[in-house]
Structure 1
Amino acid sequence: MDATLAAAGAADDRGENATQGSIRLWDVGTGSSRGGISVQASHVWPVAFATSGNLLAAGTSAGDVVLVDMVSMKGLETLKGPPAGARRLSFNSEGSLLAVGADTGSFVGLKVDGEGASTPMRKEDDSQASAAVFSPDGRFIAWGEGSAQVGLWGVEA
């Protein structure tokens, strides 16, 4: 898939103080709306495309990560993220692992190879921490900590 879509998480107003989470899509070239995809949560916060562009991850207020096949525009599966919510997302270069950061500053790593397995990579309270991101070769995860230090963690092959 080429890079013709932009995506954002949303909370659509449903009245009576209720919202429905959705992923909004736009055509990058024209700026026109390509519609949306409803998600089983009240809010969708972050979204991230895998490098291929064929897979989109969306973090929800329920702490889940919804994986969407961008060719069919249908949800593939829902993975369990950190209990404090899925607020930051970063794919490795192959699109097989996803670092999911929570509001607490911790993160977990999720396998996205179709098995739906959740593999904790790091859990730590640090409310000033940054998102966890993969190195270009996918061998490390970098994590900015509130102590103004950057941590590096090796990723098992």
Structure 2
Amino acid sequence: MKSSVPIITVDNAAHLTRVRQLGSPRVPFAGGQRLGFAPADNHLLATEESGVRLRWWKSLGVAEKTVSHGEVPLAEFKPGFLRDGSIVGIGAPVATAATPYRYRILALAVESGTLLHESALPCPVTCFGVRADGTALVLLDEGEAHLWNLETWQPMRNLRGISVSAQLKDCAFSPDGRYAAVVGTPHDGTSSGVWLWNLEDGTGPDHLSLSMPFAGSVAFHPSKPLLVVGGNSNEVDVVDVREFRITRTLKDFHCIPSNLDFSPEGDLLAAGGDGRGFAVHRFDTGERVFRHGDDNDLQTSDAVFSPDGRFIAWGQGDGTVGLWAVDPGS
């Protein structure tokens, strides 16, 4: 990456421009892409919502690694891209697995895509998330919750699971590793909510009801005890983690935000949404400072900041990934 590329800030975010397109177009393309950067560098991971195609770019170089459906069929959860050069995800049940027809937690080598580890799980997975220190939260459909140590490849601790049947959509860890949060919507028609575990003492999950009918995305602020939740409304709720209450609501988002991601400084919030592209908003006011979209209304993809704050990646409507930055001359 070129050091001359400016860090994206409140003052220059309006001047974002697409500097690169990753991957090859596939038209027609429907669905969406889940994106993630490795926490310690600018390696970028992209997986389709169907779980059939996993791609990554090393240091955003020209070489594209692709794992086909036949080799590593993934479940729909967003994989975790770990700092040690491995990708961790949930493998869908297949006959060729070490334990056939069981969901698996698995690790792939970044360089080759080869399978490094896999462990069978006792029942289907309802939500999954990975933290940069090698900790994973795995929620199972029998109300169980487990913490995994991905460096030793051993379960760390059993946690109390979610007591209601719900469609869970996203999982996030606080930067300090103290909390984990999951958002979703109960199947009984009650309001959506966010569930919060305190991983230091193993308590939780505490539950907070939300006014939005459906919750789809959660992200922790990088330095403050806050998290944000988006769903099927044009609003984003800001939650105080310590008091576990909604402190304010950011209104008039350009789309229904299916994913939310903070800039490294926490002053900007990227939102990808319902086929209308992505936008960047100020976190303090909710004001939109940048927006881009294409003509594909059939896909919903993530928009995420790079760890150095110089790039935003967004899954485009033709199946490629766009890389956005501020022109050094702006």
The aligned counterpart of 2:78 is: none
The aligned counterpart of 2:199 is: 28
Q: Which has the higher contact order (CA 8 A, sep 6+)?
A: 2
Q: CA deviation at 1:12?
A: 3.4
Q: CA deviation at 1:144?
A: 2.7
Contact 2:295 2:317 in 1 (8 A): no
Report sequence identity in percent.
36
The aligned counterpart of 1:3 is: 177
Q: Tell me if 1:133 matches 2:304.
A: yes
Q: CA deviation at 1:72?
A: 2.8
Per the normalisation by structure 2, the TM-score is 0.41
Secondary structure of the structure 2 residue equivalent to 1:19: coil
The aligned counterpart of 1:120 is: 290
The aligned counterpart of 2:264 is: 93
Question: Which is richer in strand?
Answer: 1
Runs of 5+ unmatched residues, structure 2: 1-174
Q: Which is greater in Rg? A: 2
Secondary structure of the structure 2 residue equivalent to 1:87: strand
Q: Pick one of 145, 149, 153 that aligns with 2:320.
A: 149
Contact 1:19 1:43 in 2 (8 A): no
Contact 2:274 2:299 in 1 (8 A): no
Number of aligned positions between the proteins: 152
Aligned CA-pair RMSD: 2.6
Q: What CA distance in whole angstroms lies between the structure 1 residues aligned with 2:244 and 2:321? A: 37
Per the normalisation by structure 1, the TM-score is 0.80
The aligned counterpart of 2:64 is: none
Spell out, residue by residue over 1:13-67, the C-alpha distance to the aligned partner (whole angstroms, 9 max, x if none).
5x5xx32021111123455314122211112111011222522110122231111
Change (3 A) 1:61 1:146: closer
Secondary structure of the structure 2 residue equivalent to 1:81: coil
Contact 2:294 2:316 in 1 (8 A): no
The aligned counterpart of 1:72 is: 243
Secondary structure of the structure 1 residue equivalent to 2:242: coil
The aligned counterpart of 2:254 is: 82
Runs of 5+ unmatched residues, structure 1: none
